[in-house]
Amino acid sequence: MLNGFVHESILERAQRKGLVEIHVHNLRDYTTDKHRRVDDYPYGGFAGMVMQCQPIDACVSHLISERHYDEIIFTSPDGEQFTQPVANELSLLNNLIILCGHYKGIDYRIREHLITREISIGDYVLTGGEIAAAAIVDAVTRLVPGVIGDDQSALSDCFQDHLLAAPIYTRPAVYKGWRVPDILLSGNDAKIKDWEFQQSLERTRRLRPDLMDEGPDL
């Protein structure tokens, strides 16, 4: 799932440019089980299967013997919510491990002893951590300087400054009679900046007033 994803589009270009390195590790390569099993039944007779300590520990031990990792993240629905501020924070770090759970989850001792941070991408349950890891890798990578063309562009996205982004348009100025706002064709940069800010404010008040509670008074 992840090997395809991390070698497409902007993530692939970022790696080619040497701006980020993304490696996908298969826990089955680290199991000592001769059938390459990585899961077992839970103690207590609960439903589902649980990922065992040994392959995860072996994989993480191998990785941390090669370089220092700033965080060892576990993707988990009960983790801290993944938000733009968390992505910003992670983008400033050098090396991250993101562990994907599967089945019913992972042996809790891994979370107690190896994991430094637990992140959820939302209040719903996925079958595995790959989509969560993909979301984290994607959101963090595009914040690395040089990854998306115009450095300003990541800063003007939604959630930066506790505001939603203003609407954007491209040519033609009129399509099927649908017009681009006149102000954007005026060439008056100061007025356009002001329009952009007012649009952000209005859209945030209407669609996500909760964001403004956390931000500065506007």
Binding site for ligand SAH (CB under 6 A): 75-78, 100-102, 104-105, 120-122, 124-126, 128-129, 132
Residue 124 or 178 with smaller CB distance to ligand SAH: 124
Residue 136 Cβ vs ligand SAH, minimum distance, rounded to whole Å: 9
Residue 63 or 126 with smaller CB distance to ligand SAH: 126
Residue 70 or 118 with smaller CB distance to ligand SAH: 118
Residue 41 Cβ vs ligand SAH, minimum distance, rounded to whole Å: 14
Pure H helices in the chain: 2-6, 9-16, 53-66, 84-91, 108-113, 130-141, 151-155, 189-207, 209-214
**Cβ–Cβ under 8 Å, residues 99 and 106:** yes
Residue 125 or 174 with smaller CB distance to ligand SAH: 125
**Cβ–Cβ under 8 Å, residues 177 and 218:** no
CB-based closest residue to ligand SAH: 101
Bridge pairing between strands 174-175 and 178-179: antiparallel
- What is the token pair recorded at 137? 């890798």
Look at the chain and count its residues. Answer: 218
Closest CA to 57 of 7, 111, 123: 111
Residue 90 Cβ vs ligand SAH, minimum distance, rounded to whole Å: 14
Query: Using the 8-state DSSP alphabet, how is residue 184 labeled?
Result: G
Residue 46 or 178 with smaller CB distance to ligand SAH: 46
Q: What distance in Å separates the CA atoms of residue 208 and residue 123, rounded to the nearest whole number?
A: 18
Residue 102 Cβ vs ligand SAH, minimum distance, rounded to whole Å: 6
Residue 123 Cβ vs ligand SAH, minimum distance, rounded to whole Å: 7
